[in-house]
Structure 1
Amino acid sequence: MKSPLLSLPGAVPAEGVDEGVAAHYGDLFREQRALAGGAGFVDLSHRGIVAVSGADRLSWLHLLLTQHVADLPAGEATEALVLSANGHIEHALYLVDDGTTVWAHVEPGTEGALIAYLESMRFFYRVEVEDRTDDFAVIHLPAGSIAEAPEGVAVRETPYGRDLFLPRAELEAYAERYGPAAGLLAYEALRVEQHRPRLGFETDHRTIPHELGLIGSAVHLQKGCYRGQETVARVQNLGKPPRRLVFLHLDGSEVHLPAAGTELRLAADGDDGRKIGFITTAVRHHELGPVALALVKRNVPVDAPLLAGDTAAAQEIVVEP
């Protein structure tokens, strides 16, 4: 779905899964600095929006999601996962309840599969699941923004900023209120700095929550049964997830960033060393320079210099081994 905000001056379209919104508006680092300072907004209108209403919405979702939402207060933001039977991450939901409806935004293109799963689990519960992507869109206001949310709009307020579920038909009008616009590249650079994993970027078909440090933020350990809970409990008790998320400082002399999927090796072993991980997201940060998130094997020494292809990389711990 192409955003009307691509008509803003300087807008350069994003590609891949983020197609439909702007990658940037002509000045990546200026846009990053504005967001870091609490100014402007990010167009996230390409993300899917799922709404769950009905008297049983919270108790029903509590049975299906990894997060404790049975008593979620109205207006309190949280995030949750849907896991496979083997405990692998299938969906990530960023949600808030407005008192009558749970609003969640999800990765672009995943809302159909998520809704199909939720519908299959409705049974006798008094709930209604709807795809509201055509009617509503997400705008992100950074932490520190003094902009006010329109009355009656669902808002997810987190330490990283506020996500507003706005009527899609009014996006352009709201953009004039919240400018200047910042693109996805600026938003992603701050996400990487904040060590926040993203579904489809830091995850693959076998990712489990412990590898990404999602216990607590998206997975509650003191709640009832949900699909995949056995794996979560086993890894929690044994303390041995096979991989761990790391933050990497990349050699700034390289012209090109390593692509997602670039193999990581121990620098001491050189190009002939065995693969010990891979890049998930690499970005250019306005202060830190080139940085990345990556998944490495759990037993990789935390102080070991790495090679991302031909690019030297130094680790910072995100998930303890």
Structure 2
Amino acid sequence: MLSPLSSQIDHARRSVLLVRASELEVIVVRGSDRISWLNGLLTCNLAAAAPGQAIYGLAVQQKGRIVCDVTVLVEEDRVLLVVPASIRAELETSFDHYLVMEDAEFSHVPYAVWHAHGPRARDLVAAARGASGASAAEIDPTGLGGAILAAPSEDEAKAFEALSTAVQQAGGLVGDDAGWEALRIEQGVPRFSRDFDGTTYPQEATLERRAVSFDKGCYLGQEVVCMLEMRGRVKRKLAPLVLANDGAPEPPAKGTEVFDAAGNKVGEITSSAPSPTRDAHVAFAMLKASAVAPDAAVKVAGRDARIYSGSAEK
């Protein structure tokens, strides 16, 4: 019989895993200039997104460091920005500074947000859209299939009932944050406030391919982000690690030091979890860029570990 954690990962790989993202909140943006205005504030290309689509990007400071990551749900008459609750008020203050004469207005609206992971995640999009006031779109951070689903808090119970029914019909499972932690680290998906924060550049967080458009027009912080890309080097870089299955009962704690084969400190653990797929512990670590190479050997609190590709292939 699968353990509760193993069962969540198994359902994400073969059907669908639904997880309530309690750490996320929603900013609703309206107005005829909402797309062009936001396109000047985020790293992703919103001009290429059609209603019913979701796109992942970053809000960055003028000097290029990340403010937070953002998932944008584009609708016919509005845009939903799904952002970390811990930074939402600060982000609104920043946005207000750059709102001058554009026809755009934003407000914080209480929403419940869920992520669905797995090949049947798309089945939940129609279920969410059928629930009163809900928004949904496919978006796939893990490479297994995925969707983001959001409903006004007043309609949360109705939306969750519809989603739960769709999950059951798809042979899926309603999971929890522990399941998402294990899955995302297995699949190499960094998480804001755990693996990267306001001190991090997109290239350091390895988000430049997923969250940054290098073909769009100007946006806040573009000059620094593009300069780092053209130079092709940063001083540190986030890397996924798999630890040797040595019987250690717990994965390494955040802040645990990482050393290279010569015994030199090269970084620290940012997050970790058990990996049912690998039957081992997996982690993210922020390392000196010079130490990051495919399959490079490192030591974590005396334990053997290696850098892996960020997928769950053993």
Normalised to the residue count of structure 1, the TM-score between the two structures is 0.83
1:65 aligned partner: 42
Counterpart of 1:316 in structure 2: which amino acid?
Y
Amino acid at match of 2:96: E
- 1:61-107 alpha-carbon deviations (Å, 9 max, x no partner): 11111111134211121111111222111121011111111112111
Q: Does 1:171 align with 2:165?
A: no
Q: 1:246 aligns with which of 239, 243, 246?
A: 239
2:139 is the alignment partner of 1:158 = yes
| Identical aligned residues as a percent | 28
Please list, as runs of the form range in 1=range in 2, the aligned pairs for 1:102-113 lying within 5 A after superposition: 102-113=79-90
Give the secondary-structure state (helix, strand or coil) at the position aligned to 1:213.
coil
Between the aligned partners of 1:264 and 1:242, the Cα distance in structure 2 is 16
In 2: Cα distance, 1:29 partner to 1:317 partner:
21
Q: 1:137 aligns to what?
A: 112
- 5+ long unaligned stretches in structure 2: 165-172
Alignment of 1:183-262 (within 5 A): 183-252=176-245, 253-262=247-256
The 5 Å alignment of 1:1-321 reads 27-132=4-109, 134=110, 136-145=111-120, 146-147=123-124, 148-151=127-130, 153-159=134-140, 160-179=145-164, 180-252=173-245, 253-266=247-260, 268-269=261-262, 273-288=263-278, 289-300=280-291, 302=293, 303-317=295-309
Q: How many residues align?
A: 287
How far does the alpha carbon of each residue in 1:113-157 deviate from its partner, in whole angstroms, 9 at most, with x for none? 11111111111111111111x2x2112222222343232522131
Do the aligned residues in 2 keep the contact of 1:52 with 1:130 (CA within 8 Å)?
yes
| TM superposition outliers: structure 1 runs of 4+ over 3 Å | 172-180
Distance 2:51 2:62 in 1: 30
1:225-254 CA distance string (max 9 Å, x none): 222222212111111111222221112221
3-state DSSP of counterpart to 1:210 = coil
SS state at 2:8 partner: helix
- Report deviation, 1:40: 4.4
Classify the secondary structure of the residue corresponding to 2:103: coil
Secondary structure at 2:182 match in 1: helix
**Residue 204 and residue 263 in structure 1: after superposition, are their counterparts in 2 closer, same or farther (change >3 A)?**
farther
CA–CA distance in structure 1, aligned partners of residues 198 and 33 of structure 2: 31
- Whole-angstrom CA distance in 2 between matches of 1:114 and 1:224: 21
Contact 1:35/1:182 (CA < 8 Å) preserved in 2? no
Decide whether the 8 Å contact of 1:260 with 1:282 is kept in 2: yes
TM-score (norm 2): 0.85
User: 8 Å contact 2:67–2:197 — kept in the other structure?
Assistant: no
RMSD value over aligned CA atoms? 2.0
